[in-house]
Amino acid sequence: MILLNDPRTRRRRLGVAAAAAGLLTALLTAAPATAIPDPGDAQTARKEVSNSTQAEARQAITNGEIPGQDEIVHSRNIEHLANIPKDVLPGTNSDLAFQGKYAFAGNYDGFRVFDISNPRSPKTVAQVLCPGSQNDVSVSGDLLFLSTDSSRSDSSCNSTTQPTTEKSSWEGMKVFDISDKTNPKYVAAVETACGSHTHSLVPERKNVYIYVSSYSPNAAFPDCQPPHDGISVIKVPRNAPEKAAVVDFPVLFPGEGPDGGGNPGAPTNPGVSKTTGCHDITVLQSQDLAAGACMGDGILMSIKDPEHPKVIDRVQDNVNFAFWHSATFNQKANKVVFTDELGGGVGATCNEATGPNRGADGIYDIVGKDDKRKLVFRSYFKIPRHQADTENCVAHNGSLIPVKGKDIMVQAWYQGGVSVWDFTDSRHPKEIGYFERGPLTTDTLTTGGSWSAYYYNGYVYSNDIAKGFDVLKISDWRTDPAKRVRLSELNVQTQPDYFD
């Protein structure tokens, strides 16, 4: 059954039983300081939950407080057009990129190329087997870039897992030629310190620069030594991608000692991740700006010199932010939305016990000019629907919906689904639409849901970890003007100037 214009804002008491049992306390305190964010290499991560948590989830379904298992619900202004299940790549679905009539969907086992010329019936045109979490994907011209953040025996697509303590192990960036979308060809690889968890492109006419985010160094890892307080910058010549190489490693958190100068995390700041690198960076080339979500820190950078980005402001939130995960500028470049991936993407944090300010978005205004610009906190946003404690749910990847004069974005919340929300008023954000499925199961805390939800040329595309590739359409007077905006290419972490 599909529920339209769902009246249930569902401020229910889910999560109380888990908190009483001590499960949530462990999640909010001990886990974030050492968590490896984003689901791991297992296709479907599962965690046992108490009998009372199972019973609470089932009762919530019976009472109509949450959707039934796998049941789809959405607001009246959202239409679910298509779902394409996973096929030959069984791993975790991850990030998305777009070019022309094609969508590129990352998967921990490789990537998939869809023809989306008919959004109601996407067609698979290629599936490339190339294991290596997390296979964050971006495209520029005839090149596709793929992040590898698991220790491999070599840089090939036939590699196997290998301990990070072995010097011969490989992690980093892979480059493919996608001039023939039906037959991508692997053309280059660049090893980077601590691998590549995510990456962001700074494309130019002759070269593509890649900012590689990675973290969690260890003295026992030959290629991932502490302090790891910066990012790798790769230069890729478009006409000779095989010559791609690291050209710089700018230190973003200078400081004395083995850990650099980032957020020290626990025990100084309990429940906050220690900064040992960045998780994700979003660049806004039209303004020579970048925003970095760096574990325990949020940063604003100047990228006037793309080979040598520099930090111009830095903020922390040691009360409510456990792990600074990603960033989104508004079109005017006077705001940044940072996400907090509390619990590493595998925790149930969309419940009453966690509250509205943790595992949420933080909205910051940018004030001042040039290199004196500062980030000023205004408010938090979190989806208003509580989820069961068998559903991983937390703020994750999203993008702007390009409406001139408004700040509206669509965002993935794992099993919390897809949310469309308005932050034009930085102090009073509000949700204006949503799509979600009921829990994968009421027996265990099982990892699934939307990893990335992005707006591209009139539609919302979501890569669901377990359920596959979804296409949504939003019809709403507040977002309808965006349908007139057309892009030839979209990598969300390389944020376009929609109205240039």
At residue 27, φ and ψ (nearest 5 deg) are -65, -45
pLDDT in tens, 311-328: 999 999 999 999 999 999
Distance (Å) of CA 55 to CA 17, 149, 204, 222: 10, 37, 55, 47
Confidence (pLDDT) at 164: 96
**Rounded Cα distance, 213 and 266, in Å:** 22
pLDDT in tens, 3-47: 444 444 444 456 544 443 443 333 343 333 333 567 644 445 789
Asked if residue 365 has pLDDT above 50, the reply is yes
**Rounded Cα distance, 303 and 48, in Å:** 45
Average pLDDT for the chain: 92
pLDDT in tens, 205-260: 999 999 999 999 999 999 999 999 999 999 999 999 999 999 999 999 998 777 78
Share of the chain above pLDDT 90, in %: 89
pLDDT in tens, 130-160: 999 899 999 999 999 999 999 999 999 999 9
Over residues 479-483, the mean pLDDT reads 98
**Rounded Cα distance, 274 and 216, in Å:** 9
C-alpha 253 chain-centroid distance: 22
Asked if residue 267 has pLDDT above 70, the reply is yes
Structure pTM?
0.94
Asked if residue 390 has pLDDT above 90, the reply is yes
Question: What CATH superfamily is the domain 16-490?
Answer: YVTN repeat-like/Quinoprotein amine dehydrogenase (2.130.10.10)
Q: How confident is the model at residue 487 (pLDDT cuts 50, 70, 90)?
A: very high
Asked if residue 438 has pLDDT above 50, the reply is yes
Share of the chain above pLDDT 70, in %: 91
Confidence (pLDDT) at 407: 98
Q: 15 or 340, which is more confident? A: 340
Confidence (pLDDT) at 38: 74
Confidence (pLDDT) at 500: 80
Contact 227, 219 (CB under 8 A): no
Confidence (pLDDT) at 14: 61
Distance (Å) of CA 390 to CA 47, 269, 326, 383, 418: 9, 28, 24, 17, 18
Confidence (pLDDT) at 44: 56
**Rounded Cα distance, 298 and 309, in Å:** 15
> Count of CB atoms within 10 A of residue 162's CB?
16
Confidence (pLDDT) at 256: 76
* Domain range annotation of the chain: 16-490
Which residues, listed in sequence order, are joined to residue 472 by a DSSP beta bridge? 80, 460
Asked if residue 371 has pLDDT above 60, the reply is yes
Confidence (pLDDT) at 28: 40
**Rounded Cα distance, 304 and 84, in Å:** 41
pLDDT in tens, 79-128: 999 999 999 999 999 999 999 999 999 999 999 999 999 999 999 999 99
pLDDT in tens, 150-197: 999 999 999 999 999 999 999 999 999 999 999 999 999 999 999 999
Over residues 327-337, the mean pLDDT reads 97
Contact 443, 73 (CB under 8 A): no
Q: ∠ at Cα 318 (313, 324), nearest 5°? A: 60
Lateral strand order in the sheet of 123-129: 123-129, 110-115, 102-107, 93-99, 489-490
